[in-house]
Amino acid sequence: MIIDFHTHFNGGVYSEKSDAEHFISVMGKNGIEKSLLLPFDGFFSDFREDNDLVSEIVGRYPERFAGLGTIDPRQGETALREIDRCLDETNLIGFKFHSWLQAFGPLDVDFMRLAEEGNRRKALFFFHDGTPPYSEPFQLAELAKRFPDLTIVLGHAGLPDLWHESMLSALKYDNVWLCFCGTPFWGMKEMTERMNGERIVWGSDYPAAKEQDILERIKQVKYLPCSDNMKEKILYSNAVELLRKYEKNNPVVGGSR
């Protein structure tokens, strides 16, 4: 089985409106047991409303979805309160930030305040990475250093140009995880070897990546010259480990806790 650790519920102008039942049928066609839903519209509009939408989908299908919210770090107290509201009052288990699309630098004072609160809550922060100027892996590694109780997932493991930075970040800081998604073969191969298959998950980016792209991205892992055990960890059991840590009320995948 597979856990897709990088999907979006709705994809803005890049996809049709998401429909949970259709989403689940697409997962079924690709052997995906559970998907981590990230927001998209909330990057640009009322994030609280979008967070509630993702939470509601997770609440309807807790065995098939986990979900993250997002926050505009420039909203001051409102932004800080949203961390607590999401973690205490919704089904969301952490936050996705697309600092490039949301137009903030991860080391901005505004964002550092959010990261500090996230650290206090031992939260899961998931980032788009691999894209300068606002989504450089070392910027996110600096957050990992300053906020060691935060778990930071690099959502593209550096993409073709910056995977080396992403790998070095994960090797240096135990609270950095890598998500293979648009990462080149050579980078995935080296990261898998150097990380011994640990702290690596896989994601499709559906529906930003289309239905026909999911299987191809699964195959990218299957073609890696590493053991089947490593591939299973990347496609499934590492994600189970991470979800178990954060899913409080939802059933987790992969058998009993």
**Choice between 57 and 224, CB closer to other proteins:** 224
Shortest distance in whole angstroms from residue 216 CB to other proteins: 5
Question: In the bound complex, what is the minimum distance in angstroms from residue 187's beta carbon to other proteins?
Answer: 8
Stretch that binds other proteins, among 22-30, 144-152, 156-164, 243-251 (CB under 8 A): 156-164
Report the C-alpha gap between 68 and 91 in whole angstroms. Answer: 9
Nearer to other proteins, 192 or 250 (CB): 192
Q: Does 182 bind other proteins (CB under 8 A)?
A: yes
Structure tokens at 107: 């080391």
In the DSSP assignment, the letter for residue 75 is G
User: Is residue 31 part of the contact set for other proteins (CB under 8 A)?
Assistant: no
Query: Per DSSP, what are the bridge partners of residue 97?
Result: 127
3-class secondary structure, 223: coil
Please report how close the Cβ of residue 46 comes to other proteins at its closest, in angstroms: 25
User: Which tokens in the block code for residue 244?
Assistant: 């178990």
- The SS3 call for residue 37 is strand
What x-and-dash track marks residues 197-226 binding other proteins by CB under 8 A?
------------xx-xx-xxx-xx--xx--
Cα(95)–Cα(200) distance, integer angstroms: 18
- In the complex, the residues that contact other proteins under the rule CB under 8 A are 130-132, 156, 159-161, 182, 184-186, 209-210, 212-213, 215-217, 219-220, 223-224
